[in-house]
């Protein structure tokens, strides 16, 4: 028998964490994993851009990132008892993998001439949206960490992920020969 999508249990503004504890839907923990979910939805949009398929191994990497974010979301939706509580499916190797990809892409980019405005192409604009939502997710997790233990690996991963999206946006523009648009402070 198929279960119903609506449970009626959240009609009064509460939701359940993993384990059953009920909290307000505006609880900082819900805000943190909800922002991770929002990020993942935006990455889903980015994943369906036809230009992504032109970039070696990017579709697989983007899917891997989405799975890592689901792991982080599940971790954040669980009341943890210590900072060293493991994040299932997330390791330091995942942070290093992002760093390696950032370095590979950055090696093919021209040096900065100033602040790059978001956009240039649709794919790069989607990367910029993912970057800014990643930064917001990072801020929400930091806020949560002031009140509850959070494994530092989560913050490391989110920090590298925002860097990844920044470099990926630039890399896409250069690879597909879209002009990078620099901030004109006199505009």
What pLDDT, on the 0 to 100 scale, is given for residue 55?
A: 73
Question: What is the reported pTM?
Answer: 0.91
| Banded pLDDT at 185 (limits 50, 70, 90) | confident
| Average of per-residue pLDDT across 20-49 | 90
* C-alpha torsion sign, points 15, 20, 22, 28: negative
Domain boundaries, the chain: 24-175
Classify domain 24-175 by CATH number: 1.20.1200.10
Residue 82: pLDDT above 90? no
Residue 136: pLDDT above 70? yes
Residue 8: pLDDT above 70? no
| DSSP code per residue over the chain | -PPPS--STTTTSEEEPBTS-EEETT-HHHHHHHHHHHHHHHHHHHHT-GGGGGSTTHHHHHHHHHHHHHHHHHHHTB--SSTT---TT--HHHHHHHHHHHHHHHTTSPPP-SPBPS-SSHHHHHHHHHHHHHHHHHHHHHHHHTTS---HHHHHHHHHHHHHHHHHHHHHHHHTTPPP-B--TT-
What pLDDT, on the 0 to 100 scale, is given for residue 9?
A: 60
| Average of per-residue pLDDT across 6-35 | 78
In the predicted model, what is the mean pLDDT of the chain? 90
What pLDDT, on the 0 to 100 scale, is given for residue 163?
A: 98
| Average of per-residue pLDDT across 19-35 | 85
Residue 10: pLDDT above 70? no
Return the closest-CA partner of residue 13 out of 29, 1, 2, 25: 25
| Banded pLDDT at 176 (limits 50, 70, 90) | confident
Query: Where is pLDDT greater, at 94 or 56?
Result: 94
| Average of per-residue pLDDT across 110-114 | 85
Q: List the single range of 5-9, 49-53, 120-124, 171-175 with lowest mean pLDDT.
A: 5-9
Query: Where is pLDDT greater, at 140 or 52?
Result: 140
- Rounded to whole angstroms, how far apart are CA atoms 102 and 165? 9
């Amino acid at each position: 028998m198929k279960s119903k999508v609506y449970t009626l249990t959240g009609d009064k503004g509460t939701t359940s964490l993993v384990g059953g504890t009920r909290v307000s839907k505006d609880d900082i923990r819900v805000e943190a994993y909800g922002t991770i979910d929002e990020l993942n939805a935006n990455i889903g949009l980015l994943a369906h851009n036809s230009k992504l398929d032109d970039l070696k191994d990017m579709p697989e990497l983007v899917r891997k990132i989405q799975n890592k974010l689901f792991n982080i979301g599940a971790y954040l939706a669980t009341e943890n008892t210590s900072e060293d509580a493991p994040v299932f499916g997330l390791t330091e190797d995942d942070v290093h993998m992002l760093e390696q990809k950032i370095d590979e892409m950055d090696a093919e980019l021209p040096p900065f001439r100033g602040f790059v405005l978001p956009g240039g192409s649709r794919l790069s604009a989607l990367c910029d949206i993912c970057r800014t939502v990643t930064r917001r997710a990072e801020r929400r997790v930091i806020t949560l960490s002031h009140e509850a233990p959070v494994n530092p690996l989560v913050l490391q991963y989110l920090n590298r992920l925002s860097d990844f999206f920044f470099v990926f946006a630039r890399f896409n523009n250069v690879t597909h020969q879209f002009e990078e648009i620099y901030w004109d402070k006199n505009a």
